[in-house]
Amino acid sequence: MLRRLAGFKYMIATLLYASLFFTQSLTLTWTVGYIFQALILNTAIMLGIYAFRGFDNSMTSSMNSCFVSYLSGTILGTLFSMIPILFFSARLPRFTMAVTAVISIFIFPFIGCMLMRYTIKHLPPKRYLVIGKEEELSPILEEVRKASMNKIQIYSYLNPSPVTLIAAMEIEATRPYDAILIGDPKLARDVESVLNDAMTKNVEIEYLPTIVENVLHRIPVEMITIFRDYYQVVFSQARFSRRIRVLDIVFSSALLVMFSPFILFCIIYILIRDGRPVFYSQPRHGINAKIFKVYKFRTMDDPKEGEGSPTLTKSGKLLRMTRLNEIPQLLSVFIGNMSIVGPRPDIPSTYEYCTKVIPFYRYRTKIMPGITGHAQVLYRYVDKLEYDTFARRLSYDLYYVKNMDFRLYLATMLRTAETMIFRRGAK
């Protein structure tokens, strides 16, 4: 079912993508330069719409949400595309770019939303016979059911023996479930021969991690505990990506140049209102838990001896509200201590606590920490040191560690713009 839904989404995205080229062909005569620029513009717009969740199932419930997603994605995608387009001597006509934006903002939300609604409505639910204990798996699978808009359903849980599984498979001539879901590999090993026989009879066998990751975009700690052997192999293979490092250098350099007026403003603003120092540094855990110093513009004053918590500086309110205080972290990206996208780097006391109480926490340091990250844009800012919130944040971080690639890297960067525009997430 998930593959079919993903396939339909790709078809819808391809239809919209082709529509942009068709519209543009009505406004100009194609040249090689125009073709390349149109590819850049249209791809950036579609990536922007994707990043702002224009193709997410949840967006179909509200036309307003669809409109906001397409509007935000189109604007941001167009702005990103302008950077490489400026290097062309003969640029796309302004009229063509304006028509492209109008179509994407005002027409695509209705087409995309209606097609997604129709697809989801007519897509039959998939019912699973789950091999696993209900008390362990039901919270995760209930979250999956809601996130899939009830298109993934559980027929029954089974703590099987070969006899009970055979009986469940033969309960009706036409099975009341569509597939068997392995929710506990230990229990599945006890009935492996029966499962192998089921596969020869075209009974579909699926595994819990695949469904949970595809629907929830996170890896719950509870699931890692059940599939420990699988995830230990997966995370042991997580490596520093040279391609992502190249992107970090390119983007951090461009952003430092772009933000240079804001950097100058922040320095002058802090000196006038609060005096020196302009920057503050703090030790954080980086890749492989190595300590490095992160730099930000100073927004807090340390408490005097015997007094309480740090206090916000006079300049701090504006800098934190606009997140301008985060800009110096781009220097850490440029020199190679951080990535633009990755898990949030922990201070030593937080890292020490989390590694002691949260299983698998050390796996999040298999890649570079980031200024922004998958957890920051899809979860929330976590400041209270407690197991539940940090374990939840970890589940999103580990998803990024496991699935890190250019698409997810860029989508997270674009979603960060959404976080900043609507003032969600980390501060």
Write out pLDDT tens, residues 45-88: 998 888 777 887 766 766 777 887 898 889 889 988 998 998 89
- Work out the pLDDT band at 162, boundaries 50, 70, 90: low
pLDDT at 202: 83
CA distance 154 to 161: 19
Contact between 188 and 131 (Cβ < 8 Å) = yes
Average pLDDT, the chain: 87
* Res 378 pLDDT > 90: no
Cis preceding-peptide flag for 277 (omega within 30 of 0): yes
Q: How far apart are CA 71 and CA 106, in angstroms?
A: 8
What is the per-residue pLDDT for 58?
Answer: 67
Residue spans of the domains in the chain: they are 2-122, 126-216, 242-421
Q: Is residue 183 a contact partner of residue 208, using CB atoms and an 8 Å limit?
A: yes
Arithmetic mean of pLDDT, 335-362: 94
Say which DSSP state 326 is in.
G
Q: How far is 300 from 280, CA to CA, in rounded Å?
A: 9
The proportion of the chain whose per-residue pLDDT surpasses 90, expressed as a percent, equals 58
pLDDT of 374 over the 60 cut:
yes
DSSP helix/strand/coil, 218? coil
| Stretch (H or E) spanning 152 | strand 152-158
Q: Is residue 161 scored above 80 in pLDDT? A: no
CB atoms within 10 A of CB 259: 16
d(CA 222, CA 139): 10
Q: What is the pLDDT of residue 420?
A: 67
Model confidence at 4: pLDDT above 90: no
Asked if residue 391 has pLDDT above 60, the reply is: yes
- How far is residue 384 CA from its own chain's centroid? 22
Length, in residues, of the chain: 427
Token digits of residue 287: 């890749």
pLDDT band at 273 (very low <50, low <70, confident <90, very high): very high
Residues whose CB falls within 8 Å of the CB of residue 173, separated by 6 or more in sequence, listed in order: none
**What pTM value is reported for the model?**
0.77
Q: State percent of the chain over pLDDT 70.
A: 91
Looking at residue 259, what is its pLDDT? 92
Q: How far apart are the first and last CA of the chain?
A: 38
pLDDT on residue 30? 94
Q: Mind listing the pLDDT tens digit for each residue in 291-310?
A: 999 999 999 887 766 566 77
pLDDT at 427 over 50: no
Protein fold of 126-216: Rossmann fold (3.40.50)
- Which pairing describes strands 311-312 and 300-301: parallel, antiparallel, or unpaired? antiparallel
Q: What band does 426 get if pLDDT is binned at 50, 70 and 90?
A: very low
pLDDT of 190 higher than 90: no
Residues 150-166, mean pLDDT to the nearest whole number: 81
Taking the C-alpha atoms of residue 255 and residue 72, their distance in angstroms, rounded to an integer, is 20
Q: Do the strands 291-297 and 279-285 form a parallel or antiparallel pair, or are they unpaired?
A: antiparallel
Is pLDDT of 339 > 50? yes
Q: Which contiguous run of DSSP H or E holds residue 340?
A: strand 339-341
Whether residue 327 has pLDDT greater than 90? yes
Task: Classify the C-alpha dihedral 396-400-402-403 as positive or negative.
Answer: positive
d(CA 191, CA 269): 68
